[in-house]
């Protein structure tokens, strides 16, 4: 059994919350905001998948882990929805509409997956996503980016720490119900390609309009960040596909730092 604590956070964000977590790194900031915009659609999909998995012939310990996992994800959904609404209100109308269109498309994808895909596919998708975010959490918590706004940092540290905490749950569910590395590998590639396409498209919408980044502060208008090709989100997607990542799922992976 995994030790999972459900924390009901009460973040208080100021009215002048910046759109960009770190104005000095527009590219990475836009990817983090894009990540946040996907979570109110991804998290319910994961919860629906775990609810179906919980009806399978699994141990009481795994069933308890699935329940705790879902409760953590529900809190992630709640708090990212809140901060997303604050950010959305600060976006230019054209940008907000473009973001909403991508959100609607992502939600439709996940509803379709729940309705038409097998539990094996949905569990493998969930495991592929969680493996990627575990790798992201480990890298960001080990080497926190400097200059991140405190309001954003508090949210991200909490979320990333819980990604480490519930790291084994989707792996255990897939492994106990189905098992098999090859199917999981190909499903992970597909799931990460699908998910990252939305991160890229959302971050491009946020970052560029007439070749300038979207920001509340015109002082931050500059060319799109050259660090985009070194995106930690995409780098960690690659590392999560290695068989060694399974070993990370079976042992302790460090503690939270500060973003």
Q: What is the pLDDT of residue 217?
A: 42
- Output the pLDDT for position 1: 55
Among 91-95, 167-171, 202-206, 244-248, whose mean pLDDT is lowest?
244-248
Per the structure block, which two tokens stand in for 94?
């054209």
Q: Regarding predicted confidence, which is higher, 230 or 16?
A: 16
Residue 212 pairs with which residues in a beta bridge? 209
- Across 193-231, b (16+ Cβ under 10 Å) vs e yields ebbbebbbbbbbbbbbeeeebbbeeeebeeebbeebeeb
**pLDDT confidence tier of residue 230, bands split at 50, 70 and 90:** very low
Q: Is the pLDDT of residue 221 over 50?
A: no
Lookup: tokens for 110: 């996940």
Token couple for 213: 């980044």
Whether the predicted pLDDT of 207 surpasses 50: yes
pLDDT one-digit tens code per residue, 55-87: 999 999 999 999 999 998 999 899 999 999 999
Decide which of 257 and 36 is more confident. 36
pLDDT (0 to 100) of residue 246: 52
Token reading at 243: 């068989």
Instruction: Name the average pLDDT for the chain.
Output: 82
The percent of residues above 70 in pLDDT, for the chain, comes to: 79
- Evaluate if residue 237 carries a pLDDT over 60: no
Q: Name the more confident of 116 and 141.
A: 116
Neighbours of 253 (CB within 10 A): 19
Asked if pLDDT for residue 23 goes beyond 50, the answer is yes
Contact 240, 132 (CB under 8 A): yes
Q: At what angle do helices 26-53 and 119-142 cross, to 10 degrees?
A: 140
**pLDDT tens digit sequence for 165-195:** 788 899 999 999 999 999 999 999 999 999 9
Three-state SS sequence of the chain = CCCCCCCCCCCCCCCCCCCCCCCCCHHHHHHHHHHHHHHHHHHHHHHHHHHHHCCCCCCHHHHHHHHHHHHHHHHHHHHHHHHHHHHHHHCCHHHHHHHHHHHHHHHHHHHHHHHHCCHHHHHHHHHHHHHHHHHHHHHHHHCCCCCCCHHHHHHHHHHHHHHHHCCCHHHHHHHHHCCCHHHHHHHHHHHHHHHHHHHHHHHHHHHCECCECCCCCHHHCCCCCHHHHHCHHHHHHHHCCCCHHHHHHCCCCCCCCCC
**What are 18's two structure tokens?**
């910046």
Structure tokens at 179: 């098992």
Report the pLDDT value the prediction gives residue 142, as an integer from 0 to 100: 80
At 145 the pLDDT is 74
Contact 49, 86 (CB under 8 A): no
* Better-predicted residue by pLDDT, 222 or 32: 32
Q: Which pLDDT does position 180 carry in this prediction?
A: 92
Q: Which two tokens stand for residue 190?
A: 């597909």
Range of weakest confidence among 115-119, 168-172, 221-225: 221-225
The whole model's pTM is what? 0.81
* Per-residue confidence (pLDDT) for residue 209, from 0 to 100: 56
pLDDT attached to residue 2:
61
């Amino acid at each position: 059994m995994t030790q999972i604590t459900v924390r009901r956070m009460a973040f208080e964000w100021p009215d002048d919350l910046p759109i960009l977590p770190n104005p000095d790194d527009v590219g990475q900031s836009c990817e983090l905001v894009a990540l946040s915009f996907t979570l109110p659609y991804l998290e319910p999909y994961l919860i629906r998948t775990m609810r179906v998995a919980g009806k399978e012939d699994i141990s009481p310990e795994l069933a308890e882990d699935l329940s705790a996992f879902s409760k953590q994800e529900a809190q992630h959904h709640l708090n990212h929805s809140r901060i997303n609404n604050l950010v959305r209100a600060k976006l230019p109308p054209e940008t907000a509409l473009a973001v909403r269109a991508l959100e609607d498309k992502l939600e439709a994808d996940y509803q379709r997956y729940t309705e038409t895909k097998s539990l094996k596919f949905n569990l493998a998708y969930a495991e592929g996503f969680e493996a990627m975010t575990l790798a992201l959490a480990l890298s960001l918590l080990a080497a926190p980016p400097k200059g991140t706004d405190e309001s954003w940092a508090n949210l991200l540290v909490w979320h990333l720490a819980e990604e480490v905490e519930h790291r084994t749950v989707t792996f255990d569910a897939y492994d106990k119900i189905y098992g098999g590395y090859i199917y999981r590998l190909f499903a992970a590639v597909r799931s990460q390609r699908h998910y990252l396409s939305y991160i890229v498209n959302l971050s491009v919408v946020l970052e560029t309009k007439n070749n300038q980044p979207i920001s509340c502060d015109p002082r931050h208008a500059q060319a799109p960040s050259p660090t985009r090709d070194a995106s930690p989100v995409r780098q960690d997607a690659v590392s999560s596909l290695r068989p060694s990542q399974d070993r990370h799922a079976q042992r302790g992976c460090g503690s939270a730092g500060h973003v």
